[in-house]
Chain A
Amino acid sequence: MDLTLKVWRQNGPTDQGKMETHSVTGVSPDMSFLEMMDMLNDQIIRAGGDPVAFDHDCREGICGMCSMFINGEAHGPSRGVTTCQLHMRSFKDGDTITIEPWRAAAFPVVKDLAVDRSSFDRVIQAGGYISVNTSGETLDANAIPIPKPQADEAFNAATCIGCGACVATCKNASAMLFVAAKVSQFALLPQGQPERSKRAKRMVEQMDKEGFGNCTNTGACAVECPKGIDLSTIARMNRDYLSATVKED
């Protein structure tokens, strides 16, 4: 199929940026969206131009590196997938596709479609862990049984890949779903209890410091999340955060 692409070009965080139009022909419906972008770049390089920069790595929907805002939606029109798992069969011959980077103050543009998400790492560094040394001298793994439904719920929260689609899709550029997923994973496990309050408080504070917006409960984040992280995680985080602030001496 033949497509017209409107692609965001921006040479660094301070550049103003603009949309640029390209056409690609002979796109196969079996191609992934990123393979279509490879094709575009191959064409641009052979013609002596500057290829479109975009982040990608595993191309199997798990590393969280790819990040494109396609036709106004994070990771494009399909649900439950990242851009790398979006296939061109989701589009029609003759379509015009608009491709933009994640837009958020806390995710400055590196170049074109690639953004800087190190703010997510700093939120995790603020408390997204269980403080245990790596000596291996801990309890036997089966010493604390965890009911399966609870373990499964912790797992579901833990599936967040840190791609940032929740932020990109939120009108306030809020990172609540990302932070809540990590807070929930540990809040649901016995190992996470000792630092539960402190963790929620520190992570939320860091999130605010990074310049992410507030949550107004529209739920768009959960709709666009490629891993289906549930909105209930946000409720859990709010509860933990509130109790942490009340407990504070």
Chain B
Amino acid sequence: MLESKIPSGPLADKWTSHKNHINLVNPANKRLIDVIVVGTGLAGSSAAASLAEMGYNVKAFCFQDSPRRAHSIAAQGGINAAKNYQNDGDSVYRLFYDTIKGGDYRSREANVHRLAEVSTSIIDQCVAQGVPFAREYGGLLDNRSFGGVQVSRTFYAKGQTGQQLLLGAYSALSRQISKGKVQMFTRHEMMDVVIVDGKCRGIIARNLITGELERHAAHAVVLASGGYGNVFFLSTNAMGSNVSAAWKAHRKGAFMANPCFTQIHPTCIPVSGEHQSKLTLMSESLRNDGRIWVPARKEDAEAIRKGTLRANDIPEENRDYYLERRYPAFGNLVPRDVASRAAKERCDAGYGVNETGEAVFLDYASAIQRYGKTEANIRGLKNASNEEVTALGKEVVKAKYGNLFDMYKQIAADDPYETPMKIYPAVHYTMGGLWVDYNLMTTVPGLYATGESNFSDHGANRLGASALMQGLADGYFVLPYTIGDYLSNDIRTGAIDANSPEFETAEKSVQDRIDQLINNQGTKPVDDFHRRLGRVMWNQCGMSRSEEGLKQAIADIRALREEFYQDVRIPGTAKGFNPELDKAGRVADFMELGELMCKDALERNESCGGHFREEFQTAEGEALRDDENFAFVSAWEYTGDPSDSNLHKEDLKFENIELKQRSYK
């Protein structure tokens, strides 16, 4: 039933040969074809701009007040590309290999290889658009390292790489808007997809200012609607990030793949109290130079928690640099899943360093000394004093990470130049998403999914600086070609009629659902339920999972969902600007998704990447994969109730890489 449509031939030739053989739509015919793009982050903006440039008529939608605000903007650290500018032996193959291994052998070889191939074009394209990447003094592009790799292939723009890349894609999109090739709908939310004769032919959208429902017809629909990390309530996602577009597609027949594969990022600012509305990431790039530790002695950890001892008072010999200890080959740069679990292990064992016991130190003291000494040498200061070295070191660190340090200071009210930062893992990214074939089409013909909203490239764990790469790869260089194969059959179809009974029915069901929510005479605000859902998900389907916990979570979520429909209170009316109503619809979908995530985690009787089942671990506490029985993609088919979803398996075939236990020791 699941056809991945991976082209035949040698791995390195698949994409080129596929591109050369798929059907094209001639320029005159492209003008007769309409495409809808939902979401304007990296994957959506780049796709909308590229499709419009090729000649299609594009309608793009975002719920924010401007396409430039999509959450890709918050990515800090960088974007990977196999350029080998640093002459450290990097290649397309190595980027491919690192990504498959980093994903714990749960992604598709052909998709990942294509991603690695087009990575180099992304950097060329962005530089041509005026994206101001960091440069060295010679005027050439600078790189840094990220977790899970042993080369420097990450391009960056200080701590704002996502913003700069998104502004690049936004500028390309703006250029097409000005030409009239893209019609932009801001403050619009996709409420449902419309299926006509088995094909996706449009969407029902809601104008978030007026509350009016609108019908938009097209020959194909592209979802670039991002990930679903906000199912945990607390995550590094933006407040508005949601699963609704993807979930609506799922309910209409698009399979959801590997929903339990969630990335918990190791370096975030810890939770400060019950009021917390979101968590803030501290870029992984900080692990280039920062050292992670907890006190080696429990009594020191207790004293720190009580506030009677400070980090700087603990001598070197009483510190446990646990990542360097456990994983000497990769040290502080192990992949995210490994670093997060290691932090949890130390904190659970009683070595946490803030009031809640859920924090570890990220220390820049030795980096400041190291950079300070180098800088003193560069400046010819032979007998620089300790103070001078420290001051010089701080200057270098400031130049590299200044904005991240400022952000930490602002949130935590603590100076990271003087004392170590406190960090803890938090939900950051979702590797799972809509199942797509090699052409990025879901199981619904004419419905595509790109970027974080699909599942295809990161397996069970995403490497740092790869999300930006995938978003732009899909949007600029993959989808614009592969969609032609499908649309070439539509050149004689003519405009799609938005007055058909299918649109009528879809609009009515959206209206009914809105009426149900707004007319509910409950007592509790939406956030009350969202917070409780998040707690269940974090405790039972977060960094570690167990059969018992997951079963409990499913029961809890079902009960919570029932309570939600009885007791939620949404103020105002369905007409006009009503952010609480928008939020209610999103949370209702999260409550179905959460149940499916738990079911998926329960079915996967192995540990891999971000999915750690307590029952399946090695003697040293590392994830224990089961390639014999679980080297497949779980693709779930909706049947009316998340718990009754049907499981379809896409077997993963590794023809170019040997499956090994992932080791970073």
Contact = CB atoms under 8 A, between A and B. Distances in A.
A47 to B, nearest CB: 10
A159 B66 contact: no
Interface in A6-50: 11-12, 28, 30-32, 34-35, 38-39, 41-42, 44-46, 48-50
Contact of B277 (A38, A131, A141, A151): A38
A62 B273 contact: no
Majority-rule SS of A interface residues: loop
A64 B166 CA distance: 13
Interface in B84-136: 85, 118, 121-130, 132-136
A134 interface: yes
A57 B411 contact: no
B209 A138 contact: no
Please tell me the size bucket of the interface on A.
35 or more
B569 interface: yes
A236 interface: no
A30 B273 contact: yes
Given A38-B527, A128-B171, A134-B46, A60 B74 contact: yes
A57 B186 CA distance: 14
A63 B71 CA distance: 7
Contact of B65 (A45, A117, A141): A117
B577 A110 contact: yes
A237 interface: no
B171 A130 contact: yes
Interface stretch (A81-89, A168-176, A210-218): A81-89
A231 interface: no
Given A141-B141, A146-B139, A45 B580 contact: yes
Contacts, number: 226
Interface stretch (A68-76, A92-100, A185-193, A239-247): A185-193
Contacts of A133: 53
Contacts of B124: 136, 138-141
B638 interface: no
A220 interface: no
A50 B125 contact: no
B477 interface: yes
A52 B583 CA distance: 14
A81 B572 CA distance: 32
Contacts of B171: 124, 128-130
Contacts of B74: 58, 60, 62-63
A89 B413 CA distance: 9
Contacts of A232: none
B136 A148 contact: yes
Given A60-B74, A132-B128, A28 B407 contact: no
A124 B130 contact: no
B130 A192 contact: yes
Interface in A149-174: 151-152, 154-155, 158-159, 161-162
B240 interface: yes
A38 B167 CA distance: 29
B529 interface: no
Contacts of B572: 50
B71 A151 contact: no
Interface stretch (B157-165, B415-423, B599-607): B157-165
Contacts of A44: 571
A138 B135 CA distance: 19
B499 interface: no
B277 A28 contact: no
Contact of A65 (B64, B157, B160, B163): B64
A41 B141 CA distance: 47
B66 A120 contact: yes
A117 B85 CA distance: 41
B67 A110 contact: no
Interface stretch (B27-35, B172-180, B641-649): B172-180
Contact of A58 (B123, B238, B580): B238
Contacts of B130: 129-130, 154, 185-186, 189, 191-192
Contacts of A48: 571
A58 to B, nearest CB: 4
A142 B85 contact: yes
A60 B49 CA distance: 27
Contact of A51 (B71, B476, B571): B571
B138 interface: yes
B83 interface: yes
Contacts of A130: 128-130, 171
B332 interface: no
A56 interface: yes
Contacts of A12: 576-577
A145 B140 CA distance: 5
A147 B134 CA distance: 11
B66 A32 contact: no
Contacts of A186: 130
A138 B275 contact: no
A87 B411 contact: yes
A28 B135 CA distance: 42
A87 B409 CA distance: 11
Contacts of B571: 44-45, 48-51
A124 B177 CA distance: 10
Interface in B509-566: 523-525, 527
A144 B123 CA distance: 13
A134 B228 CA distance: 28
A223 interface: no
Interface in B328-382: none
A117 B177 CA distance: 16
Nearest to B272: A30
Contacts of A3: none
Contact of B71 (A28, A58, A111, A155): A58
A128 B68 CA distance: 13
B662 interface: no
A141 B238 contact: no
B500 interface: no
A179 to B, nearest CB: 14
A134 B525 contact: no
Contacts of B577: 12, 53, 110-111, 114
A110 B209 contact: yes
Interface in B261-312: 272-273, 275-278, 280-281
Contacts of A146: 135, 139
The list of the 8 closest CB pairs from A to B, nearest first, reads A145-B139, A136-B121, A129-B171, A155-B132, A138-B128, A125-B178, A141-B127, A111-B577
27 contacts: A28-B272, A30-B273, A35-B275, A35-B277, A58-B73, A59-B239, A59-B280, A61-B407, A65-B64, A65-B65, A85-B407, A87-B413, A117-B65, A121-B67, A125-B175, A125-B177, A128-B171, A133-B53, A134-B476, A139-B128, A142-B85, A146-B135, A146-B139, A158-B164, A158-B167, A189-B130, A189-B132
Given A57-B240, A129-B171, A189-B132, 12 more contacts: A45-B525, A58-B71, A60-B407, A62-B74, A121-B67, A121-B68, A130-B130, A134-B49, A140-B124, A141-B83, A151-B133, A186-B130
